[in-house]
Chains A and B, each alone.
Chain A
C-alpha cells in the first residue's frame, strides 16, 4: 500500500460517514405524516355556538305560519 491508496481509502471512509450522517438527518427531519392520519388528528372544537341558536329561537317567536 502506498500514500495514494491511503488517501483514497480515507476519502471513501469520509464519504461513507457523510452519507450515513445525511441519511440520519433526512429521516429525523422528515415530519410528514400520512394524509389520512393528519386528517384524523386534526383538532376538533367541541364548543357549540348556543348563542346563535338562542338568537334564532328569539327571532322566530314572532309570526310563523301554521
Chain B
C-alpha cells in the first residue's frame, strides 16, 4: 500500500523534469553530507592511529639506538672505572671544603709554614646531586701564610700539583726582604672547582680566623 503511494507520488513528480532533477541532486547531496558526518570520527581515529604508529616506530628506533649507546657507555665506564676516584678527587660533586682545607693545612705543615688566616667565599651548602643542570662551579678562597719565601714557592707548587684542581690567581708578599727574611706574610688568592648547580645555598665569606688555626697549621 505504502509502496504504491510512493510510486504514485514519484510518477507525479517525474512529470516535471526540473523538479525531478533537483530532487535527485538534493537527495544525493544530503546522502553525502550524512555519510561524511558519519564517517568523520572513523577517519580522524584512523588518522590518529596511523600517526601514533608512525611515532611509535620513530621512538622504537631511537630507543634501540639509545640502548646500544648505553651498552657502549657501560663498556667505556668499566674501562675507566678504576680511575674514577681520581676524577672525583679532581672535581668533586660537592664543595668538600673541609677536606680541601685539611689538605691546605697539611701542605703548609709539610713546608714549614704557619697559616694565619683562611677565608672561603660562597661555599655551597646543600643541593640535589642528581640534578641535570650540574656544571663546573668555582669557590674562591684566600689563605694567609707566614714563613720563608722559598717554602711558599714549594708550597704553591704542591698546592697546584694537588689532585684537586687549584688555580692560584694572585699572591701578595709583605716583608722586609723576600729571599733572606724568615718571617714573611704571604696572601694567596686561589680558586677551586666542584660540580654543582647554578644556584645553591651558600655561606658567604666563611672566615676561619687565626685563633682557629695554630702555628702548625691544624684547625682546632
Contact status B33-A60, CB under 8 Å: no
Task: Pick the residue among A17, A47, A57 that contacts B36 (CB under 8 A).
Answer: A17
Task: Pick the residue among B23, B37, B86 that contacts A56 (CB under 8 A).
Answer: B86
Contact status A53-B80, CB under 8 Å: yes
Contact status A45-B63, CB under 8 Å: no
Size of A's binding interface in residues, CB under 8 A: 39
- CB contacts (< 8 Å) of B127 on chain A: these are none
B31 to chain A, nearest CB (A): 10
- CB contacts (< 8 Å) of B51 on chain A: these are 27-28, 30
Q: Flag A37-61 by CB within 8 Å of B: 1 or 0 each.
A: 1001111111110100100110110
CB-CB contacts below 8 Å: B182-209 with A: none
Task: Pick the residue among A5, A19, A65 that contacts B162 (CB under 8 A).
Answer: A65
CB-CB contacts below 8 Å: B68-125 with A: 69-73, 76-77, 79-80, 83, 86-87, 90, 103, 106-107, 110
Chain B residues near A (Cβ < 8 Å): 19, 22-23, 25-26, 29-30, 32-33, 36-37, 40, 43-44, 47-48, 51, 55, 59, 62-63, 65-66, 69-73, 76-77, 79-80, 83, 86-87, 90, 103, 106-107, 110, 157-158, 161-163, 165
Chain A residues near B (Cβ < 8 Å): 1-3, 5-6, 9-10, 12-13, 16-17, 19-20, 23-24, 27-28, 30, 33, 37, 40-48, 50, 53, 56-57, 59-60, 62-65
